[in-house]
């Protein structure tokens, strides 16, 4: 009995000692693994709903990448100020998001050694999934190295959202040429397309000349909406010039003036704050817009006109039959998750564990991680995803979870596809048709945001009223408050010396941007 008791005590002691040894070894191993496991800090400009703690998406990222990830979420209103302070103090995160509104700082930070180059040989996915023209923007001066990873996106094409039910009511086909558009505009204004017996319909509405220019500028090979850096499509030499100097600019302005006089163009266009709000009231025939806006506008319009039907179509072709879109290269994360902000670039700072930071950016550029960054976790952020048709279905609660949790650096697979939100198969088919139609048929010259021309940005900062005067004088010409000679005189004399200097600067900057990276 006594022997049995001592035997039990001995077994218990051995068990306790063994457990202690196991726990010691496990803790030691965990400590070693913890020391080996990289800790990465990332500073992002996110929406107010984003949460950086108890985030299941971040937890899954950490598991897949084998690193601890700490996201520093900074409000958009103070982001640039806090980033500047962090850079100046040296207390900045390993990876930071910068916006191209601060491109001057970007080059200065590179030259100061605060931002490290991206070694593309160690990051093959970054190079594969980013267009060469975008990578070219990540160079500084004569340095051929790349200093950032641009967030990329596939944008929907810009065109015309038109009242298809009005076309059918009046027996009109889809317009393609400028003459056909003129006939449709005239019919929309004079033939009572809504059948109320009153002369109260409008051909096309616009916020100032923006949407109108987005529709009709291409017919004159002129970029009114985007005002981006690109070769003048109407110039045989293809010089990069200001919008007002493009060969077809005055022809476009004369057409806008005619449209106003004929009452095709909404006479309220100089004063509208939101042209879409007027369009959905049901008295307007067309508006400029992206193809993915069509269905939402149709639903809003149907609150006032239940039988209304919209269609997205291409704007009028130029004299050679081409449809133009001068939208600049697209940046930023516009996926299902929280907005990281347009024109986002992600850089590695001098404080970083370089290998871990580069591995993170390269991994987030893979097809699999791009998909994960846009979808999230099934059951938490989405119900189902159709890989072949690129349709994701989410409940309202999952949409909220997406806004709280997700972030990434891209929402496109090298322009291969686009995730469409919604569970209506017919509507998603319409959207995909519109997108493919625009991508296939629109001529898209290599264009860059004018924000990349630092001399122009500096001029506009020093002359804050310049852009507003440009818009207002154009409107005055269209509405007849300024005659042709007076308007041409303004374009010739206003800031004449600065215009000449800036014209040379934007030409040089475009040549630099358009060169492929080495």
What does the DSSP 8-state code read for residue 494?
T
Per-residue confidence (pLDDT) for residue 488, from 0 to 100: 92
Per-residue confidence (pLDDT) for residue 353, from 0 to 100: 94
As to burial, measured by CB atoms within 10 angstroms (0-12 exposed, 13-18 middle, 19+ buried), residue 172 is middle
Q: What are the residues whose beta carbons fall under 8 Å from the beta carbon of 228, sequence distance 6 or more?
A: 326, 327, 328, 447, 448, 449, 450
Q: What is the pLDDT of residues 25-51, one digit of tens each?
A: 555 454 444 457 999 999 988 777 888
Residues of the chain falling short of pLDDT 50: 17, 28, 30-34, 101-102, 331-342, 412-421, 517-518
Ordered domains of the chain (ranges, CATH) = 39-154+331-421 (3.40.190.10), 157-326+444-518 (3.40.190.10)
Q: In whole angstroms, what is the distance from residue 273 CA to residue 279 CA? A: 12
Produce one character per residue of 350-380: b if its CB has 16 or more CB atoms within 10 Å, e if not: ebbbbebbbbbbbbbbbeebbbbbbbbbeee
Per-residue confidence (pLDDT) for residue 461, from 0 to 100: 83
Pair of tokens at residue 434: 């519109």
Inter-CA distances, 24 with 14, 20, 30, 33, Å: 15, 6, 10, 14
Helix, coil or strand: residue 368: helix
Helix, coil or strand: residue 157: coil
Per-residue confidence (pLDDT) for residue 414, from 0 to 100: 35
Per-residue confidence (pLDDT) for residue 332, from 0 to 100: 44
Per-residue confidence (pLDDT) for residue 484, from 0 to 100: 95
Q: Put residue 192 in one of left, alpha, beta given phi > 0 → left and psi -120 to 50 → alpha.
A: left
Per-residue confidence (pLDDT) for residue 333, from 0 to 100: 38
* pTM for the structure as a whole: 0.70
Per-residue confidence (pLDDT) for residue 391, from 0 to 100: 61
Pair of tokens at residue 274: 């939101």
Helix, coil or strand: residue 144: coil
Per-residue confidence (pLDDT) for residue 337, from 0 to 100: 36
């Amino acid at each position: 009995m006594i022997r049995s008791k001592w035997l039990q005590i001995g077994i218990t002691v051995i068990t306790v000692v063994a457990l202690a040894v196991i726990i010691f070894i496990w803790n030691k191993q965990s400590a070693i693994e913890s020391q080996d496991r990289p800790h990465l800090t990332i500073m992002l400009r996110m929406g107010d709903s984003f949460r950086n703690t108890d985030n299941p998406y971040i937890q899954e990222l950490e598991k897949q990448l084998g690193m601890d990830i700490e996201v520093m979420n900074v409000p958009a209103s103070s982001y640039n100020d806090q980033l500047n302070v962090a850079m100046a103090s040296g207390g900045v995160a390993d990876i930071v998001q910068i916006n191209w509104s601060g491109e001057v700082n970007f080059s200065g930070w590179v030259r100061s050694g605060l931002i490290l180059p991206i070694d593309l040989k160690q990051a093959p996915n970054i190079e594969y999934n980013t267009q060469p023209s975008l990578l070219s923007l990540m160079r500084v001066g004569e340095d051929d190295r790349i200093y950032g990873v641009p967030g990329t996106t596939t944008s929907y094409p810009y065109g015309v959202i038109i009242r298809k039910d009005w076309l059918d009511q009046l027996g009109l086909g889809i317009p393609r040429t400028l003459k056909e558009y003129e006939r449709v505009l005239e019919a929309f204004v004079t033939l009572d397309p809504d059948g109320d017996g009153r002369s109260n319909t409008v051909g096309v509405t616009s916020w100032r000349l923006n949407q109108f220019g987005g529709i009709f500028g291409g017919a004159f090979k002129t970029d009114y909406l985007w005002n981006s850096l690109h070769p003048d499509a109407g110039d045989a030499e293809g010089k990069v010039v200001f919008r007002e100097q493009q060969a077809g600019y005055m022809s476009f302005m004369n057409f806008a003036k005619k449209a106003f006089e004929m009452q095709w163009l909404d006479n309220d266009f100089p004063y509208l704050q939101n042209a879409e709000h007027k369009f959905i009231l049901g008295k307007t025939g067309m508006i400029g817009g992206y193809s993915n806006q069509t269905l939402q506008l149709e639903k809003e319009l149907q609150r006032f006109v239940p039988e209304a039907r919209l269609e997205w179509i291409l704007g009028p072709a130029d004299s050679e039959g081409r449809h133009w879109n001068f939208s600049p290269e697209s940046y930023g994360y516009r996926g299902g998750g929280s907005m990281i902000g347009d024109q986002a670039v992600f850089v590695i700072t001098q404080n970083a564990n370089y290998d871990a930071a580069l591995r993170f950016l390269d991994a987030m550029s893979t097809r699999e991680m791009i998909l994960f960054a846009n979808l999230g976790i099934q059951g938490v952020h989405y119900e189902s995803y159709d890989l072949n048709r690129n349709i994701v279905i989410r409940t309202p609660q999952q949409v909220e979870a997406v806004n709280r949790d997700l972030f990434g650096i891209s929402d496109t697979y090298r322009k291969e596809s686009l995730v469409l939100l919604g569970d209506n198969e017919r509507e998603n088919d319409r959207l995909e048709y519109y997108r493919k139609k625009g991508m296939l048929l629109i001529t898209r010259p290599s264009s860059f945001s004018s924000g990349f021309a630092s001399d122009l940005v500096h001029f506009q900062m020093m002359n804050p009223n310049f852009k507003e005067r440009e818009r207002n004088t154009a409107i005055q010409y269209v509405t007849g408050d300024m005659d042709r000679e007076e308007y041409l005189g303004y374009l010739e004399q206003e800031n004449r010396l600065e215009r000449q200097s800036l014209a040379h600067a934007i030409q040089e900057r475009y040549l630099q941007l358009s060169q492929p990276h080495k």
